[in-house]
């Protein structure tokens, strides 16, 4: 069986209502953390994980994303005229990252529906899904890479997991699983439930926005019933798939920020800026001067 993961699907069709008015004319995935749009963090993690082809599922206002990952001729020409060759290289780095395709999710019918929209572009091979709101900083090894390695060893679909406080659990898909005796980061999944009430949550292990999937998931997504809100949930498709094959959960190593929420977005901005040689020392001084 083919175990090479070359493609990633990045759903980026949300309305971004939490960030209005910033997202009135711009997709939330283009909001900037330090000096890069949120979606670029996901694309860079994918490339660092060996992914060659990025499929972005867009809704409205996709043109700014397309422009971002394309070559900016006019910008480059102006920068070149001004002798700013380092900035030309910086702009080019983005478009050189990977080959990017776009597909439109015509109706906002949920995450499972967004993944299903990429079916033809994915074809008959294993693929990854990344939700750009989950910004993961893992300096040692990209979180997606960690998961791809589990998939390459086992051939089983792999879902990212993170322990979260029970009071927050209802915001997530939640699993119950049996921890692997040899590798405590791995769980064999027994239950998956999307956004349960706290008292119904089967554990404190929440699903995070990184998945390594096999193409048989598309059949499940195509037949998964819509939920109460009329959406097709990826978690429900995965539960159907789990009746036919083994699914694994993986507690990845790395710091995850919920960049889809204002507080998580701010934390990511501060932490990632503090790590930078050009910004860290001055920002640290500033934070100290606040005497918090």
Task: Scan residues 216-255 and list those touching ligand G1P (CB under 6 A).
Answer: 233-235
| Buried/exposed code over 102-124 (b: 16+ C-beta within 10 A; e: otherwise) | bbebeeebbbbbbbbbbbeebee
Q: Which residues of 235-247 are buried (b: 16+ CB within 10 A; e: fewer)?
A: bbbbbbbbeeeeb
Q: How many residues bind ligand G1P (CB under 6 A)?
A: 14
| Cβ nearer to ligand G1P, comparing 96 with 168 | 168
Query: Which one of 45, 194, 220, 231 is in contact with ligand G1P (CB under 6 A)?
Result: 194
Q: Which residues contact 3 (CB under 8 A, 6 or more apart)?
A: 126, 151, 152, 155
Unique residue bearing structure tokens 């800026």: 273
Quote the CA–CA distance of 83 and 38 in Å, as a whole number: 29
Residue 208 is a binding residue for ligand G1P (CB under 6 A): yes
Which of 131, 272 has the CB closer to ligand G1P? 131
- From the list 17-25, 175-183, 206-214, 241-249, the region that binds ligand G1P by CB under 6 A is 206-214
| Cα–Cα distance, 26 to 42 (Å, whole number) | 18
Q: Is 209 in the site for ligand G1P (CB under 6 A)?
A: yes
Give min distance, CB of 186 to ligand G1P, in A. Answer: 18
Task: Tell me the window of 2-10, 61-69, 203-211, 266-274 that interacts with ligand G1P (CB under 6 A).
Answer: 203-211
173 binds ligand G1P (CB under 6 A): yes
Tell me whether residue 83 or residue 229 sits nearer to ligand G1P (CB atom). 229
Secondary structure (DSSP) of 225-259: PP-TTS---HHHHHHHHHTTS--EEEE-SSEEEET
* Among the listed residues 31, 43, 175, 207, the single contact to ligand G1P using CB under 6 A: 207
Site for ligand G1P contains 206 (CB under 6 A): yes
Least distance to ligand G1P, CB of residue 174, Å? 8
Task: State in angstroms the smallest separation of the CB of 149 from ligand G1P.
Answer: 21
The closest of 134, 154, 156 to 143, measured between CA atoms, is: 134
Closest by Cα among 152, 157, 118 to 244:
157
Residues at the interface with ligand G1P (CB under 6 A): 111, 131, 133-134, 172-173, 194, 206-209, 233-235
């Amino acid at each position: 069986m083919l175990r090479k993961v070359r493609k990633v699907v990045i759903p980026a069709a949300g309305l971004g209502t939490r960030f209005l008015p910033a997202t009135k004319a711009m997709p939330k995935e283009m909001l900037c953390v330090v000096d890069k749009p949120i979606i670029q963090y996901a694309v860079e993690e994918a490339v660092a994980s060996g992914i060659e082809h990025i499929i972005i599922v867009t809704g409205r206002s996709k043109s700014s994303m397309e422009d971002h990952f394309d070559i900016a001729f006019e910008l480059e020409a102006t920068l070149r005229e001004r002798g700013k060759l380092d900035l030309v290289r910086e702009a080019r780095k983005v478009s050189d990252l990977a080959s990017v395709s776009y597909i439109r999710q015509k109706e906002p019918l949920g995450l499972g529906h967004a993944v299903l929209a990429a079916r033809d572009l994915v074809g008959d091979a294993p693929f990854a899904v990344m939700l750009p709101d989950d910004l993961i900083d893992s300096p040692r090894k990209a979180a997606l890479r960690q998961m791809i390695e589990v998939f390459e060893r086992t051939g089983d679909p792999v879902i990212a997991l993170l322990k979260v406080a029970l009071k927050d659990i209802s915001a997530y898909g939640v699993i119950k699983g049996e921890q692997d005796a040899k590798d405590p980061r791995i769980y064999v999944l027994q239950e998956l439930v999307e956004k349960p009430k706290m008292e119904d949550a089967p554990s404190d292990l929440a699903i995070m926005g990184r998945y390594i999937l096999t193409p048989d998931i598309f059949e499940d997504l195509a037949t998964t019933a819509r939920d109460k809100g009329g959406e097709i949930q990826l978690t429900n498709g995965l539960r159907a798939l789990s009746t036919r094959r083994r699914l694994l959960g993986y507690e990845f190593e790395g710091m995850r920020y919920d960049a889809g929420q204002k507080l998580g977005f701010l934390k990511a901005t501060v932490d990632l800026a503090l790590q930078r040689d050009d910004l860290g020392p001055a920002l640290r001084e500033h934070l100290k001067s606040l005497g918090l």
